[in-house]
Structure 1
Amino acid sequence: MHLKRSPTVRLPMSSSISSSTSRRRAVHAPDTADDLAEAAACFANASGGTIIVGVADKVRGTEAFLGTDLEPGFVRRRVFERTQPNLDVMVREFNYAGKRLLLITVQEGLDVYVANGKAPRRRFEASCLPRSGIDLMRLSDERRGTDWSAAPSGRGVNDIDSTALLHLRSLLSRSRNALMEGVDASTVDLLSMLNLSDSHGTLTSAGELLLCQPLANAKNDVLVYQFRETPGGDVRSGRRWQAPLLTAAIEVLTMIEARIGTIPINLSNGQQIQIEDYPIIAVREALANALIHGDLRERRPVTVEHSSQSLVITSPAPLVSGITPDNILTHPPRPRFPSLASAMRAMGLAEQYGLGVDRMFKEMIRSGRAVPVLSVSEGDLRETTVRFSGGPPNSRIVKFVASLPSVEQEDTDALLIVSTLVSRRVLNAAQLAPVVQRDPDEAQAALLWLSQGAARIIEPTPRSSKRRHPDYRLTAGAVSSLGPVLAYQPKPKSDIERKIVAHVRDYDSINNDAVKRVFNVDVYAARDILKDLVSRDILARTSEQSRGTAVKYGAGKKFPARSRKRNKSTMRPEEGPSLFDMGSDVE
């Protein structure tokens, strides 16, 4: 028996029941069908999947196809009978490699399913694992449409914190998503318009969380912020917040923005743009998603770990059922707490229509950095993490993206294609599909559009152009624009290298500022030149300082040996200023 993900789910994942078990129980059809019921329930409690019966899991080639004598009607009936609530699956037989196989299709369930009286289980990679009590509660609420944030809290308008109410009105006055009549409405009417109170005037759980100070028996942190110079360094600045959540969200964004710097980059058209250390739009969306989808009922806070190298936002609980890091870009939006999400969107703190994650990816690529990394931890206390990589932006990527037509600049698929082709020479639909989280045909359409539309930055390779899904590469113009950014571009010894070698021979070392002045390049191009030479052991860092433009580099292990005949013009002068004496910039 072989289990795999449903073809409607775009990224591969597989698991299995041991083939030896399958063969041993071949004469015990009820037992085998009971195993299938457990596997089907496990898939139904996740996002669905398919099961192929009659295939050995750890055997390759045609020998893996063993076949099965089970009848489709029997398997369907047995799965239905052995699951609670009863789970109906689709079963059909087909032949492959001369063997009769069964294909069982399991849809994402509408409830929480158990099989053979065992505790509900969930999919994790290649296994079905038991669900914890809090997991079961969350899944049951999500499947049945129960919205904790819409339930009455028992608190009234008089419990609202005055500062939080001022923040609410201020945000609504600036939000494009708010109703105009709500800005000047009374507090009671305003809360009703935002669905933060019920018909009796009682605040909902969302209204209490956003606007009220905590009760004496519920004083737990909802948000924690820590800033470090480096990820492993001491905390330089930190703060903890209890409810109201609205005040906490606004204040943490203020703290983050205060520590985000900007770097000017000049475009070819003469325009200068400012690139943030971390695009604040992306950070805001990540924080909003953490606050909306994190399960604060667990009394664990959303945490923000901020340093110059990374910014990490962690929220309690996994992603909403059916959504994974592998499909989050294309899965229809599904908020854990719809009432809370609706209020935050009205205030302008979160995107409408599930565009927030797309925007995070787009803004990071446009700022010349890697896409954010989303992950979900396992264990008793599951968490969802979004990690942004910091450091200087890649100015060539920034300039290249800024040169694209406006439609392509705003298209997530287009930017992901550019980002991917920076690190690999060719790309086809099958390789792109998991990156853009679409099926191969949709990925092919995106590649075709970039090759034939207004941008025309990629082209099919001559050898593959007749294929249904050709291999694509960057055009010569795109390669020229991106230049040394491309990981696969050859980097021959150049005049730049010769001049740097000569300078190090004369003055023993060189730094970023010297490279900028000699070659008339910006700090990032100078950084890339030095980084390349260090990676090839031509240069090596010689100063104790490890960051900034004043870091000094000297001869590395593969520094070219001096020729026997030495020209007097290249002799080190006894006196005279070096390039270091011309001034230096420190990041």
Structure 2
Amino acid sequence: MTLDATDAISPLGVLPPPGPTCIHLPLDVTPEGLARHAVGLANARGGTVLVGVDAVSGSARDAGELHPLMITHAIFELSGGRLTVNVQHHRLPGGARVLAVFVPHAPYVLAAPDGSVITWDGAHLVPVTPGEAEPVADQDFTATVPPDASLADLDPAEVARLRGLGRRASAANLPDLDFLRELGLLIPSGGALRPTLAAILLAGTPAALRAHVPQSEVCFYHHQTTDVEFQFREDLLRPIPALLTRLAELIQARNRFTPVQVGLFRIEVWDQDEVVYREALLNALTHRDYTLRDAVHVHHFPDRLEIMNPGGLPGGITPGNILRHQPKRRNPLLAESLARLGLVERAGVGVDKMYSLMLRHGKEPPEYTTYPDSVTLALHSPGFDAEFVRFVARKQEDMQTLSLDVLIVLSLLAREGEATRAALARALQLPEDRTPRLLRGMEEHGLIRRAGVGRGIAYVLSDEVRGALGRPALPAVEAAPPALAAAAAVVAPVVVPATPVPAPEPVQPAAPKVARAPRRPSDSSGPNTAEVRAIALALAREHGRVRNVDLRGACGITTQQAWRTLRRLVQDGLLRKLGTGTRDAAYELLS
């Protein structure tokens, strides 16, 4: 289930112990001390700093008093603007909260606030010396050979399944042993060929999986409602290809599609697109941390599919840069074998493919939520924009393929109505100064236009695109009022006669007509995004809390639109979520 950052509970229920990629700090750590440890961890390999672990039990205080945005800003400033971290609160089962600071691996050596160059050795901060050897790469756990593993641990039927998947591979026509050796799954050890853990994960017998990698189990849950209670569960301990086949059967058994007619063609939009969820499952099984004794959990709700993966994202990758970060393989041998079999992409474009397909089908993009010891991917499917699907399909018919960046901008504006350049940069996962070229190009092609003036400038869909989506055109922005000097009439000098006579009163310039302030464009069908946010906060202030149904009734919006607004207010630190689910949860103002 999707949890808000302020009330997130680790799905695995425990905090990772201190070590090479995790640092525990007390609640009273100074900003300088926290920044030093963050820099040291970034210089090592990246990881997580947990603040307030000492106050988890038996204390009246916890890390809830520390504001994530203040911590992010402090580390950024104290590192000289070179280290940006992701900070979240995490509520543990006992109720206490800790602060998790996710630190990326620095691309170059950073200096601490006091100017020292330090790194984290797994237990202490130590100086980085010029003569220090290059850091040793992390060991590939899937490339190890279990001490008592043998060829008897491999299932011939699963090897045949692998061969069927790898028909494009050059080794597909080799005998079984040569085929597995060519993939790097068998290596000489102790005078005999023996399987690696990657071989057992791909073609192992049930007994071998239980003996060597019991953590490769996948638990599937089916939920009839959006609540946490499930009606069906199946625990699967099978090789990865067999796992994918069975999981696809379980998901497709409860999957539905809606036909969308586009001219003479029909597009089937599934609640869960098979290409998307297969890519998500493959990523989970390929890049999870197999050193952790925890299973992958797959929850199938009526409105979303959630995949909970042990180990979190590889070092340096966060939900905010996953589209742009260079791909990292936690299990290189397993990933390379699957790539040679044609199941995963070597170029690391699996996430891009998921984003693109979901946006083309008028849905929200995948949503990643990170925890200290795991990561959750949510594929939402409460509905889709059929007109957006038709618009994208017609563009493709006209030989105008829309790039992923263009789809992200169009999809966001179609959902939200308008967005600033900063908001679009966050959605694109790009620095704000790298967005003007893309936005100018979209303006030139008549896809978007600017609205507002000065600092209030925002981007909206063009009238042509709005018409294609079946939405009314936005009113034009009124011109700014003319300058006062230009509006005033010029008074000619008055000639005074020789005889003293009263001078005529000077002619007063006509008062300039006060122009109305430019209106922000809004959809005539209802309040815009900013107005809905303001109404939600007002309801919470007046009644103590606000629910999805309250916001729908006040604004005349859908359940999904109300949920999206409330979720963003929680993420912005303005509301706190009480309860679970979409309809039963309530939200109150943060004091």
1:472, distance to aligned residue in structure 2 (A) = 3.0
Letter in 2 for 1:472: Y
2:448 is equivalent to residue 458 of structure 1: yes
484-493 vs 341-350, greater mean Cα deviation: 484-493
Letter in 2 for 1:190: F
TM-score by length of 2: 0.59
Decide whether aligned partners of structure 1 residues 282 and 539 sit closer, same or farther in structure 2, where only a CA change above 3 A counts: closer
1:114, distance to aligned residue in structure 2 (A) = 5.2
Quote the Cα distance in structure 2 between the aligned partners of 1:188 and 1:231. Answer: 47
2:182 is equivalent to residue 193 of structure 1: yes
2:241 is equivalent to residue 242 of structure 1: no
TM-score by length of 1: 0.59
1:132 maps to: none
Q: Do 1:279 and 1:367's aligned partners in 2 also have CA atoms closer than 8 Å?
A: no
1:449 maps to: 441
Matches within 5 A, 1:344-383: 344-378=338-372, 382-383=373-374
SS of 1:201 mapped into structure 2: strand
Letter in 2 for 1:333: P
2:465 maps to: 478
SS of 1:430 mapped into structure 2: helix
Quote the Cα distance in structure 1 between the aligned partners of 2:401 and 2:185. Answer: 37
Gaps of at least 5 residues in structure 2 are: 1-24, 49-66, 79-106, 128-134, 475-520, 528-548, 560-591
Decide whether aligned partners of structure 1 residues 335 and 88 sit closer, same or farther in structure 2, where only a CA change above 3 A counts: closer
SS of 1:250 mapped into structure 2: helix
2:299 is equivalent to residue 305 of structure 1: yes
Decide whether aligned partners of structure 1 residues 326 and 238 sit closer, same or farther in structure 2, where only a CA change above 3 A counts: same
1:252 maps to: 247
Q: Do 1:227 and 1:307's aligned partners in 2 also have CA atoms closer than 8 Å?
A: yes
Quote the Cα distance in structure 2 between the aligned partners of 1:300 and 1:387. Answer: 19
1:231 maps to: 226
Q: CA RMSD in A?
A: 4.4
1:117, distance to aligned residue in structure 2 (A) = 7.1
SS of 1:403 mapped into structure 2: helix
Quote the Cα distance in structure 2 between the aligned partners of 1:384 and 1:250. Answer: 23
Quote the Cα distance in structure 2 between the aligned partners of 1:203 and 1:194. Answer: 11
Q: Do 1:284 and 1:349's aligned partners in 2 also have CA atoms closer than 8 Å?
A: no
SS of 1:202 mapped into structure 2: strand
Q: Do 2:244 and 2:278's aligned partners in 1 also have CA atoms closer than 8 Å?
A: no
Q: Deviations over 1:408-458 (max 9, x none)?
A: 6552211110121124444443322221111123222222232234xx311
Quote the Cα distance in structure 2 between the aligned partners of 1:88 and 1:356. Answer: 27
Letter in 2 for 1:435: A
2:501 maps to: none
Q: Deviations over 1:476-497 (max 9, x none)?
A: 111122245999511279xxxx
Q: Do 2:142 and 2:334's aligned partners in 1 also have CA atoms closer than 8 Å?
A: yes
SS of 1:401 mapped into structure 2: helix
Decide whether aligned partners of structure 1 residues 279 and 488 sit closer, same or farther in structure 2, where only a CA change above 3 A counts: farther
Q: Do 1:112 and 1:143's aligned partners in 2 also have CA atoms closer than 8 Å?
A: no
Q: Do 1:91 and 1:105's aligned partners in 2 also have CA atoms closer than 8 Å?
A: yes
Decide whether aligned partners of structure 1 residues 540 and 362 sit closer, same or farther in structure 2, where only a CA change above 3 A counts: closer
483-492 vs 309-318, greater mean Cα deviation: 483-492
Decide whether aligned partners of structure 1 residues 539 and 42 sit closer, same or farther in structure 2, where only a CA change above 3 A counts: closer
Letter in 2 for 1:261: R
Q: Do 1:345 and 1:351's aligned partners in 2 also have CA atoms closer than 8 Å?
A: yes
Q: Do 2:366 and 2:377's aligned partners in 1 also have CA atoms closer than 8 Å?
A: yes
Quote the Cα distance in structure 1 between the aligned partners of 2:295 and 2:29. Answer: 46
1:221, distance to aligned residue in structure 2 (A) = 5.7
Q: 1:206 aligns with which of 175, 198, 203?
A: 198
1:362, distance to aligned residue in structure 2 (A) = 1.4
Q: Do 1:221 and 1:240's aligned partners in 2 also have CA atoms closer than 8 Å?
A: no
Gaps of at least 5 residues in structure 1 are: 1-15, 23-31, 50-56, 69-86, 93-101, 119-141, 494-530, 542-587
2:143 is equivalent to residue 150 of structure 1: yes
2:410 is equivalent to residue 415 of structure 1: no
Quote the Cα distance in structure 2 between the aligned partners of 1:188 and 1:404. Answer: 49
2:257 is equivalent to residue 262 of structure 1: yes
Bigger relative contact order (CA 8 A; separation at least 6)? 2
Q: 1:395 aligns with which of 346, 362, 386?
A: 386
2:157 is equivalent to residue 168 of structure 1: no
2:523 maps to: 489
Q: Deviations over 1:325-383 (max 9, x none)?
A: 111111000010011111122233323311111111111111221111101123xxx11
Q: Do 1:400 and 1:482's aligned partners in 2 also have CA atoms closer than 8 Å?
A: yes
Identical-pair percentage: 24
Q: Do 1:160 and 1:212's aligned partners in 2 also have CA atoms closer than 8 Å?
A: yes
Decide whether aligned partners of structure 1 residues 186 and 459 sit closer, same or farther in structure 2, where only a CA change above 3 A counts: same
1:165, distance to aligned residue in structure 2 (A) = 1.6
Quote the Cα distance in structure 2 between the aligned partners of 1:300 and 1:430. Answer: 39
